[in-house]
Amino acid sequence: MQQTENIHNRIMWREKVFQYIVKNPGNFDSIKQSLRAIVPSKKKLSTAIDDLMRDKRIIIKNREIRVNGDKILDGRYFKNGKKQYVLAGNKLERYDFNPKAELGFIKNGQKVKVAISIYENRFEPIIVEKIQGNLSSDLDLTDKDSDENDIFEHVIGRVMKSDHDNLIFIPNDRRKFKQNIVITNDKKTQGAFQDKICKLRILSNERSDQPAYGFIEQILGEAGNPVQEYDIIALSHGAQMNWDDATVAEEINKAPLEVNPANYNLVSEGEDFSQDVDGKESIVDLRGLNFTTTDPADCKDMDDAIYSTFDKKGNLEVYTAVANVSKYIALTSEIGKRYLKASFTQYAPNKAYNILPPQYSTNICSLNPNVDRLALVIKTTIDSKSGLPKHSEIFDALICSKEKYSYEEAQKIVDGNQTLKLDVLREKVIKGEELSKDEQVVMNYHASKILDKGFKKRNMIKFDSQGEYEVKFNKDMSDIVDIVSSEHIDYHQVIENFMITANEATAQYALKHGIPNIYRVHDKPNEDKLAQAEEFFQFLNIPFDGDLSPTGLQKILQTVEGTSMQKAVNEFLIRMQSKAQYSISPNPKEKGYISQHSKKKGTKKAKNKEFSDAINALDQ
C-alpha cells in the first residue's frame, strides 16, 4: 500500500515539474527556485528530473532546460458548446482541457503544438504554441491505429494477486519488462481487474533499481480463457484483429470478383514477357497446366498451388504458384498498409489472423479451383537422378487450379495408386499424353521424393515432425475440449518440399540481382548449447564429436533412426538450434544496419555528464 502511495506522489511531482517546464523553458538556474517551490524536497525534485530525462521528455543543454521537441505533438483545438478539447498525435485521442489565458484567442479548428502531461489516470494537453495556416484544408478526424507518437506506451498483460492485499500486472512481453509492473489505479477500483487480461498505460519505464509502473485503461478478457488468450497473444504481436472501419469497408467494396484475361497480354511459356503490349502487362498463360492446391480440409484461403512434369530431356520440372496479392491491392491503400505492417498471417488452433480481409483472402487472392487467378510462379528444373536443382525461373502468370485437395484426400489417392510408378508417368508425359487428376497427384508425390533426394545430398537437416498435437474445440470454437496426437500424413512433405525449392529459388534470385529481401536465418548453436549436447549424448551413450553442423546432425539422426531414442534425440536437436531470426542478409552474423546499442555508445558519456551536471545543480 505504501509503495503505491509513494508512486502516486512521484508521478504527481514529476508531472508538475514537466508542466512548469513546458510553460517556462529557459535558464535552469533561473527557474530552480520555482521548481523547488513545486516539489517539497531537493531529493524529490532530483528524482522528478531524473524520471523526465530518462524518459527523454525534457532536455538540459548549456544550462537551458526545455521539453524534448520529439514529445511535442501536432494537434488541433476544438470547441463544442462550452466543452473544449484538442486532438493530438497520430491516434488523435480527445483530451479535455482548459486553454491557458496567455495563449490568447484560439480559433475553432486551430492547428497547435501540444505537450501531453498525465496524472491521476487522465491526460492533460498543454498547448505550447498556435500554428498559423489554413484551418480546414488538411483537417482529419479519422482515428488511426498507429502508436508511433504515443508518449505513454500501452502494454498488454494479466492482473494477478501477489498476496492477500496486492495485485500485480504481469506483462506479456518479458523481453522488455523483466519485472512485474506496479499498478497505480486507485486501490478501490483495482479489484475489478483481478484475473483479467488488461491493457495498461506505462507511466515510467523499468529501470535496474525499480519496476515500471502504470495505470490500467481497459479490460480485454478473462485470464485463462483459451480463445481470449489467443486473441490477446495475436494482438500483442501486431496481428490484424478486424476490418470494420469505414475506410477499409470502402476499399473492400471495390475488390474485384474475378480476373479478366482481356486486361493482359498473354504469352506462352518461353516467349518474351518483359515488354508491355498496347498498354497491357505481359504475363505467362499457364492455364493449361494441371495446378492443384493441397491444404487442411477446413482451409478457405488457398495461397499456393503446385504442378510437376518432365521436359524432353527427362529433367524434372516443378512449378510453385503463389497468389499475387500485389496485382489486386495497392500497397499505398489502407488495406495495403496494414498488409505490409502485419507481414504474414498468424495462426492459432481455432482461427487465423489474416493480413487481408476475407473478401480478398478467400476470393480473388485465393487460388480457388476452376477460376482464373494471377500468380507469381517459380519454376525449377531438377536433375531427375540426383535431385539437385539446375536452374530456376520466376514470372508473373495466369493459372487455373484444377482441383482443391485436403491432405487426407491427396494421401488417399497416393495410397490407392501404389503400383503407379514414376517411370510410367515419365513415359506418358514425354509422349505428350495428359495425366489424369489422380495421376498428377501421384506425379507430385514422386517429384517430392526426387527433391528429397537432392536435399539429402546437400546435407539439409530433416527433423522428424511426427508426434505433433492438435487442439480440439467445441462446435462454436469457444473452448478447448481435447488435445490429441495429430495423424502423420506423408503428403504434408510434398507441399513442404515444393515450397522449400521455391523459397531457395527466390532467395538466390534476390541475391543475384541485388533485390532487397528478408531471410529467415539461424546462427550456429552457442557454447552453452554445445555443452548441453555433450552431456545429453554422453548420458545416452551416443557417439558425439561436438559437430552440430548440418552434416553432424544428419549423422546423429541416422545413428538413432528406427530406435527407441529417435523421438527424444529429434526433439533435443530441434531445441539445440539457435532461434530463427529475420534478417536482410542471409548471413546471420550480418545485421545490415548499425545496432541501436552501437549508435548510442558514442554519446553515452556525454549524456551521463549532462545529466550529472543537472542533478548537481539542484544541490548547489
Element (H, E) at 160: strand 154-161
- CB within 8 A of 69, min separation 6: which ones? none
Contact 473, 480 (CB under 8 A): yes
List the helix and strand counts (H, then E) for the chain. 15, 27
Kind of pairing between the strands at 182-183 and 480-485? unpaired
pLDDT along the chain (620 residues), means of 10: 69 86 87 86 89 88 88 76 65 51 70 77 75 48 39 83 83 86 83 91 80 87 84 80 86 91 94 89 96 91 96 95 93 89 80 88 94 97 96 96 96 95 94 94 97 90 69 78 82 95 94 87 81 89 85 85 86 81 78 39 48 50
Q: Is the pTM of this model over 0.75?
A: no
560-571: per-residue pLDDT in tens?
888 888 888 888
Yes or no: say if 173 and 183 are a contact pair by the CB < 8 Å rule.
Answer: no
Q: Do the beta carbons of residue 199 and residue 217 sit within 8 Å?
A: yes
* 123 membership: H or E segment, kind and range: strand 122-131
205-228 residue pLDDT tens: 787 777 888 888 889 988 888 888
Provide the 8-state DSSP code for 360. I
Question: What is the grid cell recorded at 137?
Answer: 484544408
> Domain coordinates of the chain in residue numbers?
2-131, 154-224, 255-328+365-502, 524-577
Closest CA to 197 of 226, 217, 221: 221
Task: Name residues whose C-beta falls within 8 Å of residue 201's C-beta, 6 or more positions apart in sequence.
Answer: 118, 152, 153, 154, 155, 214, 215, 216, 217
| Type and span of the H or E element at 391 | strand 389-400
- Give the CATH architecture of domain 154-224: Beta Barrel (2.40)
Query: Which set of grid coordinates corresponds to residue 251?
Result: 476499399
- Are 430 and 423 contacting, i.e. CB atoms less than 8 angstroms apart? no
Calculate the alpha carbon distances from 585 to 19, 511, 589, 592, 599 in Å.
46, 9, 9, 7, 20
Rg of the chain over CA atoms, in angstroms? 31
